[in-house]
Amino acid sequence: MHSIGIDIGSTSAKVAVMEASGEIKELFLLPTGWSSADTAMLIKERVLALGLGELYFTATGYGRVSVPYANKTLTEITCHALGAHYFCKSDCTVIDVGGQDTKAIKLENGSVTDFTMNDKCSAGTGKFLEVMSNRLGVRFDELTRLAKNSDKDIAISSMCTVFAESEIISLIAQNVSRENIAKAVIASAINKISNLVKKQANTSYFLSGGFSKSEYVRENLEVCLQAGVTTHKDAIYCGAIGAGLAGIRNLRREDGNK
């Protein structure tokens, strides 16, 4: 029996194929596209092609309702907590910046004790940086590269993504360099993320999700939070790994009840 964790987010779907022992066998990612249901079926086809035999599927993420073959569904809070603890092995606050929301999840003894979530506004989320990157005509990884070469600090004062975009248009018209605008954009996002995370203040933090790929973001979060922020090369899969681990627990519970 293998446990399959599926995390369907707003921009990408992450999948963790796990052995019953808890060892990760395979990780893969697909773009969510316009239809979570279609993506879910593509995932099933790819997993079945591995020829693993009996499977147990656990789905999480905003698109978890679009996985009709899932044996169980769980919230992102639970799964990101389990996945982060799988890597960090210690108490911390998990920072997950998704495409549509940002979550700060406090862990004690491997369990969630509290969390704060921003799902009412795109400021301080992946969508904010996607919009701003598009306005500057670059990808997010290029945005951080530009920011590193900034030679002047400027501020974006608007809390709203729409108004912040208007500020950027104005800065472009004033011939402010893309490097300086890029730094201001990321600083604005990190400031909003940090303010949310401080509601779950801790001595250490773990960065999961897509932003975990950016060393620039991680370093600047450390400065704002004045505490260590660690991550892992596979932290983007925390939700899927957590779902896979939850599936293993359910399987063991079912076996124990037989």
Mean pLDDT, all residues of the chain = 88
What was the pLDDT predicted at 256?
63
User: Which candidate, 123, 39, 117, 32, places its Cα nearest to that of 81?
Assistant: 117
Mean pLDDT confidence for 65-80: 93
Retrieve residue 29's tokens.
């990612």
59 and 172 Cβ atoms separated by less than 8 Å: no
Residue 121: pLDDT band with limits 50, 70, 90: low
Per the listing, tokens 């995390």 go with 7
Confidence of residue 111 (pLDDT cuts 50, 70, 90): confident
Asked if pLDDT for residue 122 goes beyond 60, the answer is: no
pTM of the model: 0.87
Average pLDDT on 225-232 reads 94
**Bigger pLDDT: 108 vs 15:** 15
Confidence of residue 34 (pLDDT cuts 50, 70, 90): confident
E strand residue ranges, 209-248: 228-230
Residue 130: pLDDT band (50, 70, 90) is confident
* C-beta pairs of 31-35 under 8 Å, 24+ apart in sequence: 32/8, 32/63, 35/66
What is residue 124's predicted lDDT score, i.e. its pLDDT? 65
231 or 162, which is more confident? 231
Q: Are strands 204-208 and 228-230 parallel, antiparallel or unpaired?
A: parallel
The pLDDT assigned to 47 comes to 95
> Which pLDDT score is estimated for 170?
87
Q: What is the mean pLDDT of residues 210-225?
A: 89
* Mean pLDDT score, 30-41: 90
Q: How many CB atoms lie within 10 A of CB 33?
A: 12
pLDDT at 192 exceeding the cut of 80 = yes
82 near 111, Cβ under 8 Å?
no
- pLDDT one-digit tens code per residue, 138-181: 887 888 889 888 888 888 877 677 778 888 888 888 898 989 99
Q: Which residues contact 73 (CB under 8 A, 6 or more apart)?
A: 58, 59, 60, 64, 65, 67
> With bands split at pLDDT 50, 70 and 90, how would you rate the model's confidence at 128?
confident
Q: Which residues of 109-137 are buried (b: 16+ CB within 10 A; e: fewer)?
A: eeebeebeebeeebbbbbbbbbbbbebbe
